[in-house]
Amino acid sequence: MDILFDDKTVVVTGAASGIGRSISTMFAASGAHVCILDYDREAGQTVCEEIEGRGESCSFYFCDVANQEDVHRTFQEITSERSRIDILVNNAGIAHVGKLQDTSEEEFDRIYEVNVKGVYNCMHAVIEQMVRQGGGVILNMASVISSVGIEDRFAYSMSKGAVLTMTRSVAKDYIHDNIRCNCVSPARVHTPFVDGYLKDNYPGREEEMFEELSKTQPIGRMGQPDEVASLILYLCSDRAAFITGTDYPIDGGFIRLNT
């Protein structure tokens, strides 16, 4: 069941590392032209060069998803070069650890700016283009935390809950414009963020804590970026044309087997 995206233009935010990197490389390998958006210029250009080195098609755009003017300018540049945007994957996001009383206004605002407003900005920038061209697909990155409570994740929970409800709203509002909008909700996935978190917070105990965090997933391990990317490719493909307004957990049983 090869899924091909020949002649499709795909925008992926936060594409320079982790899950975003896997999403970008999989789309490119499946024939799409991938527009890599990231705030890390060096890392984003590196991913793009790696994709082009395999003979696949991509372009890099430096973009701060929290800045609406920057986002609209970037999307206008993409459409002027590519004439259309078939798929938007809103993957960019940042994490925060802390319960309500440990969350400062500055921290709360920053999470909101990137994780909520960033998703809004990108959907706002692409939606008129998708309406004009007769359709498109939007895929948002939510989280298991959108559906269940997790300790010490107050601001992050707020942001991913908003992603889930924005997804359903957009799906309903634009269903007659042939625009599908879904989200995926990963549990803990082994990315460079996890390694950095363990290094900063548990120096000398990284391996021990990695095993402990892995075992919080009922399946006994963390997910892999490619596993999340594979689900996203399916949901963005024509094989999933009957799916919209839906959240897909990819969580090793975390939601259903822990509640």
Which two three-digit tokens encode residue 56? Answer: 């696949």
Question: Which residues lie below 8 Å from residue 134, measured CB to CB, with a gap of 6+?
Answer: 177, 178
Report the catalytic residues. 156
C-alpha 247, offset from chain centre: 13
> In sequence order, what E strands does 91-233 have?
136-141, 179-186
Q: What's the CA gap between 181 and 130, in Å, rounded?
A: 12
Cβ atoms of 91 and 12 within 8 Å: the answer is: yes
- Per DSSP, the residues of 96-136 read --B-GGG--HHHHHHHIIIIIIHHHHHHHHHHHHHHHHT-E
Distance CA 170, CA 147 (A): 19
Backbone angles phi, psi at 245, to 5 degrees: 70, 25
β-strand partners of 223: 189
Tokens 């283009």, located at residue: 129
- Within 10 angstroms of residue 211's Cβ, the number of other Cβ atoms is 11
- How far apart are alpha carbons 254 and 216 in whole angstroms? 8
Residues in the chain: 259
